[in-house]
A = this chain, B = another copy of it.
């Protein structure tokens, strides 16, 4: 597709989002922008469904099936089948559930007690595994968290589970899902993918890569709104295996019961992916999220990736030309993201020892990215609403901030609660 026709393709999506005037928003990998349809959907959910229909909306507005319904919509974006995905809880809680489930399926071989991950994985993933080690004392879990390049070698006959985030939240470096999944499975381990920076960033092919389990986030590229429900994927073969051994739900709340409204006193686990549900779903968040998913279902994910690479290549080129190695050290940004297309997602990160202050100065100029300790300036590129003009303008602002040391002011160095 030509560059102009790609731009034209995305123009029709851009109008479907609320884009604050004068703002260049390169943080859709942290919180996606507001779809206009989500605003309408939330208002309807509040005023009409809650306000007027009240408790009846569980049936009349089909609130009760929101987790499965949204799960099936997400499935189409991540290469999963109907019935393999539910939307619920937070990514952290969901990772807890899939780890418990994968360990359950692995427990026939007690010698496999190792969870392998990348030490630079998003911390909550590591924390959840650390917590499980403390909780499941009888499993004597061992955690093997190693550098990106050492992950493959760390997988061996003692490995129960490999748990990776496909795209590194700091550098944007991307694992090869197909290769790593095959490698884990060749060693007899289960492969869990965290799709936080994948879903909505490019076409994910969970089943084509034979992934075992996955979790992901609703509020980043998927534009589901702040604190949107996260999601869980389990390959159908594992759902069937869990059903076959009548495995308990990982957190056995009433929404994982075979008949929640029969109010039985004995837990009977439901079939399929609903085993990952726990309690009452957050309906207002679902209203926002589902409206965004309905936009996503009209998007050509191949074009998303094509335009994402156009935008990220352009940003790398523009920033390196303006703030590259020919400048003084203080005005220099170092690319942290791999250049090769296959080795990255839809974000570009640069390093600078004063990254925090530089990002604050940039935000003060209405260009929003974010900072990740210790030295990463992080920029997310979301073709649905970010243009080439935005990219060039952002690079220009960066150049000016660096050239004049505009960032070197106390107000930009003061740390905020959330960075």
Q: A373 CB to closest chain B CB, in angstroms?
A: 5
Cβ of A138: which chain B residues have Cβ within 8 Å of it?
A: 136-138
A90-B280, A226-B57 known; A126 and B265 CB under 8 Å?
yes
Report A2-27 CB contacts with B as 1/0, cut-off 8 Å: 00000000000000001010010101
Q: Which of B89, B135, B260, B372 contacts A93 (CB 8 A)?
A: B89
Task: Report the minimal beta-carbon distance from A51 to chain B, rounded to whole angstroms.
Answer: 4
A130 & B267 in contact (Cβ 8 Å cutoff)? yes
Write out, one digit per residue, whether chain A residues 40-60 have a CB within 8 A of any chain B CB (1) or not (0): 001101110111111111110
List chain B residues, Cβ under 8 A from A267. 123, 126-127, 130-131
- What are 26 residue pairs bridging A and B, where the CB atoms are less than 8 Å apart in the complex? A18-B51, A18-B52, A33-B54, A34-B46, A38-B46, A46-B288, A49-B226, A56-B363, A63-B418, A65-B417, A89-B90, A92-B251, A123-B267, A127-B252, A127-B254, A128-B252, A130-B267, A131-B249, A131-B251, A131-B267, A135-B135, A136-B136, A138-B138, A228-B282, A261-B417, A261-B419
Specify the chain B residue showing the minimal Cβ separation from A145. B265
- Given A127-B252, A127-B253, A131-B252: A225 and B92 within 8 A (CB)? no
A285 B282 Cβ-Cβ under 8 A: yes
**A100: chain B residues within 8 A (beta carbon):** 135
Binary interface encoding of chain A residues 250-268 relative to chain B, with 1 for a CB under 8 A from any of its CBs, else 0: 1111111100111111110
Q: Give the B-binding residues of A (Cβ under 8 A).
A: 18, 20, 23, 25, 27, 30-31, 33-34, 38-39, 42-43, 45-47, 49-59, 63-65, 89-93, 96, 100, 119-120, 123-124, 126-128, 130-131, 134-138, 145, 219, 225-230, 248-257, 260-267, 278-286, 288, 363, 368, 370, 372-373, 416-419
Query: From A138, which residue of chain B is reached at the shortest CB distance?
Result: B138
Of B131, B251, B284, B368, the contact of A284 (CB 8 Å cutoff): B284
Known: A138-B137, A278-B90. A265 touches B131 (CB 8 A): no
Chain B hits for A265, CB < 8 A: 119-120, 123, 126, 145
Q: How far is the CA of A262 from the CA of B356 in the complex (A)?
A: 12
A137 to chain B, nearest CB (A): 5
Q: B419, A92: Cβ atoms under 8 Å? A: no
Per the bound structure, the CA–CA distance linking A23 and B262 in Å amounts to 27
A50, A288, A416, most chain B CB atoms within 10 A: A50
Alpha-carbon distance A368/B54, docked complex (angstroms): 9
Given the interface pairs A124-B254, A253-B128, A279-B90, the reply to whether A416 lies near B134 with Cβ below 8 Å is no
B279, A59: Cβ atoms closer than 8 Å: no
Quick one: given A251-B92, A261-B419, A418-B58, are A227 and B282 in contact (CB under 8 Å)? yes
- Nearest to A376 among chain B residues (CB) is B263
**Closest residue on chain B to residue A23 by CB atoms:** B54
Chain B minimum-CB-distance residue to A229: B282
A278 CB contact (under 8 Å) in B18, B50, B93: B93
The 6 closest A-B pairs by CB, nearest first: A90-B279, A131-B252, A92-B253, A226-B283, A92-B279, A227-B282
